[in-house]
Amino acid sequence: MTTHRERIQACFKGEQTDRVPVALWRHFPEEDQDPQTLAAATLQFQETYDFDIVKVSPSSAFMVKDWGVQDEWRNNPEGSRAYTKHVIEKPQDWETLTALDPSAPHLAAQLDCLRVIQRGLAPETPLIQTVFNPLSQAKNLAGADLLLEHLQKYPEALTKGLETIAKGTVKFIEALRELGVDGIFYAVQHAQNNLLSLEEYEKIALPYDLQTLVPAKEFWCNLLHLHGKDVHFSLANQMDFQIVNWHDRETFPSLSEAENLFDGALCGGVRQETLYAGDSDQVKKEARDAVAQTRGRRFILGTGCVVYYQSPRENIMAVIESAR
């Protein structure tokens, strides 16, 4: 294998690679307020560690800020920003949303960020952009508690909002396709049994996921992220993804179990907390166990979610060394 692209493509085929691919990503909670500084931070992170996939991580609010949502940095260890203003207050507000166009200021800024990254990134390094699914965007518009209240009490109003969000998300993914990125990192946050049953998710959210993902079918490197615990892992087979990522150290299935449940590549193996607060020996132990579980086939070594932004360099290097 001479390039990151070749290594990842061989991984997808289940072939033996020269080493296990590695992909880690993090938030940049101050730099992500400007496309130029986020691009520079993303490129610097890649230049430092040379990962096999570059995942671009803007603020989670970037897809909803053009509706008026606001956030601020409050030192969350994951690097995520806190929401200070939501725009959905009553059920009728879902019906007043209008679908965003990629030319809207914050969406356009993210496209500009990607153009800068493309100019500075080796062309054979896969580049994927974060996209939050419609239900996650709805949560960011209303707040977690109000979303669930509306879901239970006013499903018809929420459905109209999800339809609007999905239409705008399709347009954004189409813009990504025109830009020439390699795929999307599709963040799903409500496929957890403590939030929605599988049947509820399939009824409320999955139709909009499938609608949203139509233009993403032309990408070759799409990654599904199932966030949280007790996730509905079977959804990975209902959506068309090459990679699935979840908190495999904290919830079903384990990596070895997932091999029999998903035909694509698995991504994970190291706990976020181990990478952040453990020592390099602990990191290597988890990484090597993950490689052993998968025999290094159809596997990308990473974490179950973002790398805490203050994770020690030596621990990140321990992940890379374990793969090599």
State residue 1's pLDDT score: 65
Report pLDDT for 2. 84
pLDDT at residue 324 tops 90 = no
- Mean pLDDT, rounded, for 182-205: 98
Side-chain-facing half-sphere of 298: CA atoms under 13 Å: 17
Instruction: Please report the pLDDT score of residue 72 as a whole number.
Output: 96
Tell me, what amino acid is at 224? Answer: L
Percent of the chain with pLDDT over 70: 100
Q: Please give the Cα distance from 241 to 221 (Å, whole number).
A: 8
CB-based burial of residue 6 (10 Å sphere; 0-12 exposed, 13-18 middle, 19+ buried)? Answer: middle
**CB 19, CB 137: distance < 8 Å:** no
**Predicted confidence (pLDDT) per residue in 138-174, tens digit:** 999 999 999 999 999 999 999 999 999 999 999 999 9
Query: How big is the chain, counted in residues?
Result: 324
Residue 280 has pLDDT above 80, yes or no: yes
- For 37-76, write each residue's pLDDT tens digit: 999 999 999 999 999 999 999 999 999 999 999 999 999 9
- Render pLDDT for 123-138 as a digit per residue (tens, 0 to 9): 999 999 999 999 999 9
**Structural contact between residues 63 and 111, judged by C-beta atoms closer than 8 angstroms:** no
Token pair of 77 as six digits: 């260890």
Two tokens, residue 85: 């203003």
pLDDT of residue 153: 98
State the angle between helix axes of 155-179 and 105-120 in degrees (0 to 180), rounded to the nearest 10: 30
Distance between CA 313 and CA 324 in Å, rounded?
17
Strand order in the sheet with 265-270: 54-56, 127-132, 183-188, 223-226, 243-246, 265-270, 299-303
- Rounded to the nearest integer, the mean pLDDT of the chain is 97
Query: Omega before 253 cis (within 30°)?
Result: yes
**What mean pLDDT do residues 214-233 have?**
98
Q: Can you give the pLDDT at residue 215?
A: 98
All domains in the chain, ordered by first residue: 4-323 (3.20.20.210)
Report residue 22 as tokens: 């590695």
pLDDT in tens, 75-103: 999 999 999 999 999 999 999 999 999 99
237 — pLDDT class (breaks 50, 70, 90): very high
Which helix (H) or strand (E) segment holds residue 290: the answer is helix 280-294
pTM, two decimals, is: 0.98
Is there a contact between 88 and 160 (Cβ–Cβ < 8 Å)? no
Cβ atoms of 131 and 184 within 8 Å: the answer is yes
254-276, pLDDT tens digit by residue? 999 999 999 999 999 999 999 99
Tokens standing for residue 236? 């990975």
